[in-house]
Amino acid sequence: MIRKIANKDNAILIQNAFPTLPKYLTHPHTVNGKIYKVPKGIQKEIKYNFNELMSLKKQGIDLFFTYVDKIKEMMYQELQNDTVQKV
């Protein structure tokens, strides 16, 4: 997808998506020193396209460049370990 974000054309590569945890997000994206969020409409479009790629993946058509399933499993295990350590 190529969309205007902060008045510039930006490439959004859904096939490069991967799961992550909030603790790995170190800082917000900024434009000219101001925190910038992707507009809601583009967020919806990204989520829709991501879900379409996940649906294709379930049908055996894997268009992701990342090992989404492996990363997702590692993330879930890390969350479980974090929960166990807190108890």
Average pLDDT over all residues of the chain:
86
Cα–Cα distance for residue pair 56/48, rounded to 1 Å: 13
- pLDDT above 70 coverage of the chain, percent: 98
Prediction pTM value: 0.69
Query: What is residue 55's predicted lDDT score, i.e. its pLDDT?
Result: 93
49-78 per-position pLDDT tens digit: 999 998 999 999 988 887 888 888 888 888
Query: What is residue 80's predicted lDDT score, i.e. its pLDDT?
Result: 86
Query: What is residue 42's predicted lDDT score, i.e. its pLDDT?
Result: 92
Contacts 24+ apart (CB under 8 A), 63-68: 63/15, 64/15, 64/16, 64/17, 65/15, 65/16, 66/16, 66/17, 66/18, 68/17, 68/18, 68/19
Query: What is residue 47's predicted lDDT score, i.e. its pLDDT?
Result: 92
Average pLDDT over residues 13-36: 83
